[in-house]
Amino acid sequence: MIDGFILGLIVLLMAWAAIRVRGRKPESWLPRELRRASLFAVEQAFVRTGSPPLVARPDRVYRRRDGCLVPVDLKVRAHLCVHDTDVAQLSLDAFVLQAATGRPVANHGYVVLWHPRQPRHRVVWVPLWSEDATRALIARYEGLRSGRSPPIPTAERAKCRGCGFRDVCPGG
């Protein structure tokens, strides 16, 4: 009898929790531009064939009503600020997205920053790099990977941890 009561209570609590989760606005952080857009992809791999072949896996891609795709990067970090590397990553995502889908891609994206312990977040609109600048980044990476161009040591030593070029870098 008591077992049945507890079981019933658990079922009720689970149903109540499910209703609460479903009742929450799932994407309350969405910027105004994307509120009427549809979700086009979530962590989906897009491949640009050609030289060099590239793969991008943007966290989210939204399709606006005019058909334009907008990449979104989700980050969890204590300091809710955007780094240059975030913009570089989004620019690469946009470059590959355009090549892989043949669809128009916005020249901006969003970085959504979530605090790991506090209920705080920040949505930042960022202008993406031009195609030329993105191609230059890819060429630079190719040069580093092939050993044709040497790494340029950075003053920010923390960045060297986990860097794939540490073995060949004079500053690593």
**What is the size of the binding site for ligand SF4 (CB under 6 A)?**
11
Smallest distance, Å, CB 146 to ligand SF4?
A: 15
Site for ligand SF4 in 132-161 (CB under 6 A): 151, 153-154, 159-160
> Which lies closer to ligand SF4 via its Cβ, residue 124 or residue 137?
137
CB of residue 68 to ligand SF4, shortest distance in Å:
35
Q: How distant is the alpha carbon of residue 133 from its chain centre?
A: 19
Residue 3 to residue 12: CA distance in whole angstroms = 14
| Integer Cα distance of 72 and 149 in angstroms | 31
User: What is the Cα–Cα distance from 151 to 163, expressed in whole angstroms?
Assistant: 11
Distance from first CA to last CA of the chain, Å, rounded?
68
The interface with ligand SF4 within residues 44-83 (CB under 6 A) comprises none
Positions touching ligand SF4 (CB under 6 A) are: 151, 153-154, 159-160, 163, 165-166, 169, 171-172
